[in-house]
Structure 1
Amino acid sequence: MTTRTLYLLCSAAPPVFDVAHVIEDAQRRGWDVCLGLTPTAAEWLEESLDGLAALTGHPVRSRYKRPGQPDVWPPADAVLVAPATMNTLNSWALGVTGNWLVGFVAEAIGKGVPLTAMPCVNSAYAQHPQFLPSLEILRGAGVRVLVGPGGFEPNAPGEKRPYPWEAALDAVE
C-alpha cells in the first residue's frame, strides 16, 4: 500500500484546538499527516507542539526554512487548509505571502497540488466585501472551497457550534 501524505494547514481559529483529534482521524483514514500552522496558531498551541510532532512523526512547521535547508516533509498528495481564517483566505487569494502557510499554498496553486480550504469565519466577517471575491479567486485557481451546505456555514458572532472537520477530511479523499 502506498502512503498518502496530507498537509493539514491551520489558521488561528478555535477549531485549531481540536487538531490532535483531526490528525488521528486522518491517520485512521490512511493519511501520513504533516501539520503546518500560522504563526498565531503555533503560539496558541505552543505547549502542544512537541506532542503534535510526535503524533504526526514530522516537525510542526510555522516558518519559512532558510534557503538551502532540506525540506523536512514528504511531498503532499493533498493539502487541507482548515480552519482558514478571513486573514488567511484573503492573503492567499491576493498573493500576500507574509507567513509560511500562505506562501506555501500560494505556490502550491502553481505546482498543481490538490488544495481544499474550509473557512472559519463568523457571519459578520462573511459580509466583508473582500470575503466572497477571495473565495471566488481561490475557486478560479482550482482550490476546492468548502463553504455553505456540506461545508462550513458562518455562524453568528460569538455563537459556538461544532466545526465540520469530518466534511473537510471527506473532501480531501
Structure 2
Amino acid sequence: MTSTKTLYLLCSAAPPVFDVAHVIEDAQSRGWDVCLGLTPTAAHWLRVSLDGLAALTGHPVRWQYKLPGEPDVWPAADALLLAPATFNSLNAWALGLTDRFAIGVAAEAIGKGTPVVTMPCTNAALAAHPQFDQSLATLRGAGVTVLYGENGFVPGPAGVDAPPHFPWQLALDAVDATTRGPNGQ
C-alpha cells in the first residue's frame, strides 16, 4: 500500500490491545501507513502475533529503544495515537517518565509538534486517583487531544477485565481530523 501519511499507533497493555490488527486494517483503509509500538507488557500479551502484526504493517513492531548508532526503522510520523492508554502509561507520559519506548516516543512527539491523540482505558477506581486528572490536564495543556469522558472512553467499574466497548473508531476519526487541511481535505 502506498501512503503519504504515517501513523504511529502506540498501545499499552489493556484488553482493547487484542483488537489492534483490526485497528491497523481500519487505519490502513483510511490511507495511513501504520507503525506499531507497544509497552513491554502489551508486547508480552501479543507475543504470538508480533510477526503477523509486523507483516500487516510492513514495519517492525517495536517495544524497546534502538541502540545508539542504529538506524531508525520507522518513517517519520505525521500523527500519533496512544490507545489504549492505561492509568500507568498516561501518568508516566504526563510526568515525562520515558523509560518505556512507547511513552518516550509519545513524549517526544509533543516536542516535535506531531499531532497526538490519546484515549485512556482505565476503570473508575483508578480514574478517581487525583494524579489521573492532573495528568490529563497536563497532556491537554501540551496540545494532546485526549478522548476521555463524554467524548471518548468512559471508564467502567473496578474489577471488570475488559471494557464493554472501546471506541477505536472515535480515536481514528480524531487522528484523521488532526491532519485534515482547513477545507477538510
> Which TM-score tier does this pair reach, normalised by the shorter chain?
over 0.9
**1:24 has 2:29 as partner:** no
Provide the aligned C-alpha RMSD in A: 1.1
**1:162 has 2:165 as partner:** yes
The SS at the match of 1:50 is: helix
After TM superposition, the score normalised by the length of structure 2 is 0.91
Aligned to 2:175: 172
Separation in structure 2 between the aligned mates of residue 97 and residue 3 of structure 1, nearest angstrom:
28
- Residues 76, 15 of structure 1: CA spacing in aligned structure 2 closer, same or farther, 3 A cutoff? same
Displacement of 1:7: 0.5
Unaligned runs of 5+ in 2: 177-185
Contact 2:38 2:102 in 1 (8 A): yes
Indicate the larger mover: 15-24 or 145-154: 145-154
Separation in structure 2 between the aligned mates of residue 132 and residue 153 of structure 1, nearest angstrom:
14
Aligned to 2:111: 110
Aligned to 1:146: 147
Sequence identity (%): 69
- Residues 146, 171 of structure 1: CA spacing in aligned structure 2 closer, same or farther, 3 A cutoff? same
After TM superposition, the score normalised by the length of structure 1 is 0.97
Separation in structure 1 between the aligned mates of residue 21 and residue 110 of structure 2, nearest angstrom:
27
Unaligned runs of 5+ in 1: none
- Residues 36, 2 of structure 1: CA spacing in aligned structure 2 closer, same or farther, 3 A cutoff? closer
Alignment of 1:42-57 (within 5 A): 42-57=43-58
Separation in structure 1 between the aligned mates of residue 143 and residue 21 of structure 2, nearest angstrom:
28
Separation in structure 2 between the aligned mates of residue 2 and residue 72 of structure 1, nearest angstrom:
17
Aligned to 2:70: 69
Displacement of 1:30: 0.7
Work out the number of aligned pairs and report it.
173
Q: Which amino acid aligns with 2:85?
A: A
Aligned to 2:83: 82
Q: Which amino acid aligns with 1:111?
A: K
The SS at the match of 2:6 is: strand
Separation in structure 1 between the aligned mates of residue 34 and residue 107 of structure 2, nearest angstrom:
20
Q: Which amino acid aligns with 2:67?
A: R
Structure 1: 4+ residue segments shifted above 3 A: none
Displacement of 1:2: 5.3
